[in-house]
Each structure stands twice: as C-alpha cells, then as structure tokens.
C-alpha cells in the first residue's frame, strides 16, 4: 500500500497544474508593444482596402524595420528573411505570402531590396514621408 501512495503522490493533480499555468501567465508577464502611426489606421487601411494577409505581412515587415533593433533602420530596410520561415511564422502558405508581397509592392508600401529583404517606409507612402519629414540615408 505504501508503494502505491508514494507513486501517486509524485503525480500532480489537475488543480495543481492549472494553478501553475495561471501563475506563469500572471502579472509578471508583459505583452510587447509596437508603435504603429495612427496614419495607418486612419488613412492607409481605408484608402487601400487591403486583405487580412496583406495587412499581416506589412505589419510583420514594419515591426522588423521600425519597432525592433535593426542595423539598417535609418535606411528603412529590414533584415533578410527566409520565405519559408515567414510563412510558418505568419501561418500562411508560400503562395499567399508571395501574393501579399506583390500586392504590397504594387501599392507602393514596400520595395524589394533583394529576395527576402524589403524597404518599408516609416509613414507607408512617399507622400506621407515627405509630409511628416521622414527621409532615408541613401543605401542603394
């Protein structure tokens, strides 16, 4: 009998597991934030009528360039991306990713520096960059 009790005592009950999961997600964890200009929500989304996938890809690239440490931030250029890793991270197919990238280029929101590396404007379009005084160091 004692052997069975010792074995059973080693296993945590469901109640203990749920308490540890809640404590790990408690006040100690802080969600990250990224500063996206209001211009995106007020003007760009209404004017361009982008798809969900296009918005997701644009925000991914924008955060890489402007919201995270980036060697080429002053040029508006993001790090080199693997298409397979991007599609896995964004939970979209490679075909959806390539279609979204082409659409974003057609809108003029991004430019391809080389395959997997993109120039992303701080204020999304050239006219808004001029209006808000954003210029870029000459990289090309």
Q: What is the pLDDT of residues 95-131, one digit of tens each?
A: 999 999 999 999 999 999 999 999 999 999 999 999 9
pLDDT tens by residue, 28-86: 567 778 889 999 999 999 999 999 999 999 999 999 999 988 888 889 999 999 999 99
Going along the chain from its start, the domains and CATH numbers come out as 38-131 (1.10.10.10)
CA distance 32 to 54: 22
Task: Give the pTM.
Answer: 0.74
Confidence of residue 23 (pLDDT cuts 50, 70, 90): very low
Contact (CB, 8 A) for 131 and 123: yes
Contacts of 139 (CB under 8 A, 6+ apart): 72, 75, 77, 113, 119
| Chain centroid, CA 43 distance in Å | 20
CA distance 115 to 80: 8
- Buried-state track 121-140, b at ≥16 Cβ within 10 A, e below 16: bbbbbeebbeeeeeebeeee
Query: Please, what is the angle between helix 52-62 and helix 94-107, to 10°?
Result: 80
CA distance 138 to 132: 18
């Amino acid at each position: 009998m004692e052997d069975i009790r010792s074995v059973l005592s080693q296993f945590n009950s469901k109640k203990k597991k749920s308490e540890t999961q809640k404590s790990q997600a408690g006040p100690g964890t802080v969600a990250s934030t990224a500063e996206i200009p209001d211009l995106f929500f007020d003007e760009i989304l209404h004017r361009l009528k982008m798809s969900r996938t296009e918005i997701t890809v644009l925000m991914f690239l924008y955060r890489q360039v402007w919201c995270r440490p980036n060697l080429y931030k002053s040029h508006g250029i993001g790090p080199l991306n693997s298409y397979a890793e991007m599609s896995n991270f964004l939970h979209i197919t490679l075909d959806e990713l390539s279609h979204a990238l082409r659409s974003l280029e057609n809108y003029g929101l991004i430019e391809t520096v080389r395959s997997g590396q993109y120039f992303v404007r701080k204020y999304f379009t050239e006219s808004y960059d001029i209006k808000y005084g954003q210029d870029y160091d000459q990289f090309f």
